[in-house]
Amino acid sequence: MKIETLIQQTTKSALRELYNFTAEVSEIQIQYTRKDQQGDITVVVFPFIKVSKKSPEKTAGEIGHFLMQKVNVVKSFNVIKGFLNLEIGQNYWIDCLARACSDENYGITAPDEKAETVMIEYSSPNTNKPLHLGHIRNNFLGFSISEILKANGKRVIKTNIVNDRGIHICKSMYAWLKWGNGKTPENSGLKGDHLVGRFYVEFDKHYKAEITELIEKGFSKEEAESKAPSILAARELLVKWEANDAETLNLWNTMNKWVYKGFDITYKKLGVDFDKIYYESETYLVGKEEVLRGVKEGIFHQKEDNSVWADLTEEGLDQKILLRSDGTSVYITQDIGTAKVRYNDYRIDKMVYVVGNEQIYHFQILAVLLDKLGFAWGKDLFHFSYGMVELPSGKMKSREGTVVDADDLIEGMVQVARDMSTELGKLESLSKEEAADTFRMIALGALKYYILKVDPRKNMMFNPEESIDFNGHTGTFIQYTYARIKSVLRKAGENNISVNKTADSISISPKEKDLLVRITLFPGIVEEAGDNYSPAIIANYCYDLVKEYNQFYHEHSILSEPDENQRNFRMALSETVAGIVKKGMNLLGIEMPERM
């Protein structure tokens, strides 16, 4: 039993026996004692002075004496006003270390037969452009949340929905037909997703020029936007696509294959994967069928122009178009179809959409629509909403080509890692191949950690120069500390120094106890991160742990400690910290180099 739980339950017994008061365990506040006070665990007594009818100090003292009698690991206590600070005996912490050191799955819960099945959707790229910095945050969050939920005993299915149809891809298709001159990834030397993305930008350039020309001829801005030749041509391609026009489908298939091949390369670089990939081109018809069923059953209504709408005003929302007048689908229609297909495939218990906070309203509508259509599971969908990534120069715009391309960013990060490591002489002992792989791990670790350490709900500014720092609040600092510990362990092995997991006849210093306390926190941290869908909780715990270890490392001898038991205990402490750091960083999708 965790010490916090034991203290809470025993405090509950104390309140009942001392004051004839039955408290809920949740009412008993437990926290780790502040570093400027003596003790390890603090019980907040203020809420119970009304039932004790005594001063906070007197109440805390009585509860403290009760805990001393009933809990053998409580060594002593002190009272500061209404705070009861408990000192936990050394043997408890040593036992915790032994368990953590010997259990490969410490802090990780494997799913059982009754485990909840959770599907996580992330990435969701469009096939009209390459992945960019915004997609990077989405992919890192989705992958990490999936790993964290797995570590909490959930059965997790990682999915991706590719937006491979619609007006956006038709814009790129039209631009290729009009100005492509037969360019392919092979004859242009460009990745397929980059090539198609260039035509999307090209379309926007010509479209804007056409709008300007029409406005100069006397059209209103809205008229010009709807009657520009390029947008009319793109809409015509969309209608042909939904009508299964052979020539249109052939071009669509060709360009999408270019993009998929490019995506696969980028996903591999990012270190993310999926259990199942869905394509909107394969699910949108299911959505149309559901919408038309809704019309027949009176759930939705069809206007004179044949467009289909849902009136959601009673739910505090607006009217929402579900099918255009020409019969083509909108995004919400596709999402209805995808949701139904997924549920039929997996019978999931919970659906989590990792999508930016600009889509909050969209998912509010989707939940209501699925509920109206009779899908009981629909209203329980969870939109994991996260903030946008911005640059010092402002927001990114794909159609204007002002994005930070994912491939370019990764390449740039690797170069920064190479330059900084070379300048500091960090990897001189490695072979060329080992150094290249380590540069990659440093670069991706820095990028992932910089993004994941931030509360996902907040917008963030990405600054590549700050992300790689061997001494800052960075993934690089954590990786470097891990490599330092592994170096100590290798040297110990070379000198036949063992790791003592029982630690008999030793004394624990305050800094060693601080490390032991942080080690005991790991299982609760993993649970908290799962409950809150927050990789930031894991990221910041790992940083705090290695920062504490570095202080310990600089204040204590390890391999040169003359007392064998003390030395072996510190070896066990080091090995355990390394194991926890690796587990924690793996939950973020970050690889840990053995040498740096």
Residue whose token pair is 């990780």: 108
3-class secondary structure, 158: strand
What is the per-residue pLDDT for 393?
Answer: 57
Distant-in-sequence, close-in-space partners of 136: CB < 8 Å, separation ≥ 6: 270, 389, 406, 409, 447, 451
| 406-587 under CATH 3.20.20.80, yes or no | no
Distant-in-sequence, close-in-space partners of 383: CB < 8 Å, separation ≥ 6: 353, 355, 359, 360, 363, 364
Residue whose token pair is 């001898």: 557
DSSP type of residue 89: P
Distant-in-sequence, close-in-space partners of 226: CB < 8 Å, separation ≥ 6: none
Distant-in-sequence, close-in-space partners of 542: CB < 8 Å, separation ≥ 6: 478, 581, 584, 585, 588
Token couple for 292 = 């038309």
CA 471 – CA 554 distance, rounded (Å) = 14
CA 95 – CA 516 distance, rounded (Å) = 10
| Fold matches, 122-400 and 406-587 | no
Strand pairing of 155-162 and 382-386?
Answer: unpaired
Phi/psi of residue 317, nearest 5 degrees: -115, -175
What is the per-residue pLDDT for 395?
Answer: 45
Residue whose token pair is 């959505």: 287
Distant-in-sequence, close-in-space partners of 65: CB < 8 Å, separation ≥ 6: none
CA 539 – CA 197 distance, rounded (Å) = 34
**Contact criterion met (CB below 8 Å) for 119 and 338:** no
Q: How far is CA 516 from the centre of its chain?
A: 27
**Contact criterion met (CB below 8 Å) for 341 and 283:** yes
**Is the overall model pTM greater than 0.85, yes or no?**
yes
- DSSP secondary structure string for all residues of 505-568: S----HHHHHHHHHHHHHHHHHHHHHHHT-HHHHHHHHHHHHHHHHHHHHHS-STT-SSHHHHH
Name the stretches of the chain with pLDDT < 70: 391-403, 426, 465, 500-505
Cα 199 to Cα 184, 258, 588: the distances in Å are 12, 13, 35
CA 99 – CA 101 distance, rounded (Å) = 6
Task: Return the H-helix or E-strand segment holding 162.
Answer: strand 155-162
Write out 218-265 in H/E/C secondary structure. Answer: CCCHHHHHHHCHHHHHHHHHHHHHHCCCHHHHHHHHHHHHHHHHHHHH
3-class secondary structure, 389: strand
3-class secondary structure, 120: strand
CA 238 – CA 430 distance, rounded (Å) = 54
CA 241 – CA 165 distance, rounded (Å) = 9
10 Å Cβ neighbour count for 28? 22
The 10 Å CB-count burial string (b at 16+, else e) for 190-202 is bbbbbbbbbbbbb
Quick one: fold of 3-88?
Answer: Gyrase A; domain 2 (3.30.1360)
Token couple for 554 = 């600089």
**Contact criterion met (CB below 8 Å) for 453 and 466:** no
Using only C-alpha atoms, what is the Rg of the chain? 29
DSSP bridge pairs for 160 = 277
* Boundaries of every domain in the chain: 3-88, 122-400, 406-587
Task: Return the H-helix or E-strand segment holding 343.
Answer: helix 331-346
- CATH superfamily of domain region 122-400: HUPs (3.40.50.620)
